[in-house]
Amino acid sequence: MLIKLLVDEDEIYWRHRKKDEELEWSHNSTHLVSQFAQCFSNAMVGSRSWIGALFNRSNTRRNADYLLTPIQEQRLQRLQERVNVPFDEARPDHQEALCSLWHCAFPNVSLKGLISDQWKEMGWQGPNPSTDFRGCGFISLENLLYFVRTYPTSFNRLMTKKGGKRATWEYPFAVAGINISYMLIQMLDLHSEKPRCLPGINFVRLLGEDEEAFDVLFCVAFEMMDAQWLAMCAEYMDFNEVLRATRLQLERELSLEDIHRIQDLPAYNLLYQ
């Protein structure tokens, strides 16, 4: 029954690629989540000061014009092309990528097929993971593949829910990854010709330094989300609130003036804990 509840929430969340309004949270929980986000911020960066005024001016800079370097423009365009590729279960390369994800996550377990109850062990909602890609597309699978190949220890720790006091009903790992990919696309304003929000503007600068910046940011965001989950003692139905708190924290980190590489994010160190 719990799986059905999540399906219903996701159908609303993913339908027609709606804007950020789909990540609603209840009025009663807003103050509590803000407190946890602030506590998490302090724990992550210690005495490091936030560039509060810079962050608060993000709205005023949304319409500011700025120039991209040739490499920034090239890499942003490639990333936007990736964002616009839907997942197609009929494409052999997409099938191969999905199988690769399984074999990287469970190297000693044979996969019985692209449709199998085995997929639930990774946190997909049903036996056919293809149905979970609606609204975000192939890039979310690429993000998960990058995570397991680049940071396998972190990936497996989160997938198997090791560490911390866990809830009776945990968030489904793979579906959480798709939600995180979607959240990052919206947060960075990647559907625009070029980002107009401050985190997006700063991210393009990071992308100019490292073409894998988006994939690395996905891994960082996943670790941040899990840390928020534990800090908030969250339950199954709290996932959207946790994701919202994660977004707020990540926006703050992307607004620090001394972030010159994606590895400079305070939360990046979570990948090696």
Chain centre distance of CA 110: 28
Whole-angstrom distance, CA of residue 94 vs CA of residue 6: 25
Establish if 24 belongs to a structural domain.
no
Q: What is the pLDDT along the chain (273 residues), one digit of tens a residue?
A: 333 334 444 444 444 444 444 444 333 443 433 444 444 444 443 334 333 434 444 444 444 588 999 999 999 999 999 999 999 999 999 999 999 999 999 999 999 999 999 999 999 999 999 999 987 999 999 999 999 999 999 999 999 999 888 888 899 999 999 999 999 999 999 999 999 999 999 999 999 999 999 999 999 999 999 999 999 999 989 999 999 999 999 999 999 888 999 999 988 988 876
Note down the domain range covering 189: 2-13+29-44+51-272
Q: Which two tokens stand for residue 140?
A: 């979310």
Establish if 180 belongs to a structural domain.
yes
Q: Which residues, including other chains, have CB under 8 Å from residue 168's CB and lie 6 or more apart?
A: 235
Whole-angstrom distance, CA of residue 21 vs CA of residue 15: 12
pLDDT computed for residue 253 by the predictor: 93
pLDDT computed for residue 3 by the predictor: 39
Establish if 18 belongs to a structural domain.
no
Report the domain count for the chain.
1
pLDDT computed for residue 47 by the predictor: 37
Establish if 116 belongs to a structural domain.
yes
Whole-angstrom distance, CA of residue 159 vs CA of residue 219: 12
Establish if 19 belongs to a structural domain.
no
pLDDT computed for residue 273 by the predictor: 67
The number of helices, as runs of H, and strands, as runs of E, in the chain is 12, 0
pLDDT computed for residue 54 by the predictor: 43
Q: Which two tokens stand for residue 110?
A: 């044979």
